[in-house]
Chain A
Amino acid sequence: DAGVTQSPTHLIKTRGQQVTLRCSPKSGHDTVSWYQQALGQGPQFIFQYYEEEERQRGNFPDRFSGHQYPNYSSELNVNALLLGDSALYLCASSLRGAKGNQPQHFGDGTRLSIL
């Protein structure tokens, strides 16, 4: 039973560039959430996708956008990269339940470094 997989594991970009990160959810999961984790901090919620639509969004600018495909996989796109975007980007999948959010299963993340 494959868990959450993210690619790439590491990425180095320069300011102003654009980046796309990918995530395949755990088998059987239909909801994908993206988080940004700075060093020594907790994961910060970026947005959540379900049924190919953005359902919830955190306090992130429009430079951060996403997509979910019919097979539930998801992408996170960041435009006009800033030095402050350097972080670990985590994808978490879950199964939408009747009682709100369910346990989230995290991938190992993509370490993004901006030079």
Chain B
Amino acid sequence: QQPVQSPQAVILREGEDAVINCSSSKALYSVHWYRQKHGEAPVFLMILLKGGEQKGHEKISASFNEKKQQSSLYLTASQLSYSGTYFCGTENSYSSASKIIFGSGTRLSIRP
């Protein structure tokens, strides 16, 4: 089951904050976050393995709520380099052969 991301697109001015949400109809084992710039490969940002875990990457952080089956990505004081499409990928079970199912993405545009 594909996770649902919201919003589908967001436009910010440099320095503003944004939150991207990812929710699943199935129980989650882990959530991955990636950013893809136009014409480039997706780049790994972070993975959250435990419920309630919050991880950070520069000014980008994320939370994972197992009970609500959702994760949120927080971008603070956005920079022009943050522009791109953000994808969450979910694993629904623990398995050494588990697969990641990606959402349809959130397009983030940062204006000077």
Contact = CB atoms under 8 A, between A and B. Distances in A.
Interface of A: 4, 33, 35, 40-45, 48, 50, 55-56, 58, 90, 96-109
Interface stretch (B10-18, B64-72, B73-81, B93-101): B93-101
Interface of B: 2, 29-30, 32, 34, 40-44, 47, 49, 87, 89, 91, 94-105
A41 B99 contact: no
Contacts of A56: 97-99
Nearest to A35: B102
A60 to B, nearest CB: 12
| Chain A interface SS verdict (over half) | loop
| Chain B interface SS verdict (over half) | loop
Contacts of B101: 45
A101 B44 contact: no
A108 B99 contact: no
Contacts of B91: 100-101
B99 A96 contact: no
Among the interface residues B91, B100, B104, which one has the most CB atoms of the partner chain A within 10 A? B100
Contacts of A108: 40-41
B98 A43 contact: no
11 contacts: A41-B105, A42-B105, A45-B100, A56-B98, A56-B99, A100-B91, A100-B94, A103-B44, A104-B100, A106-B41, A108-B40
Contacts of B94: 99-100
A101 B43 CA distance: 16
A96 to B, nearest CB: 6
B44 A43 contact: no
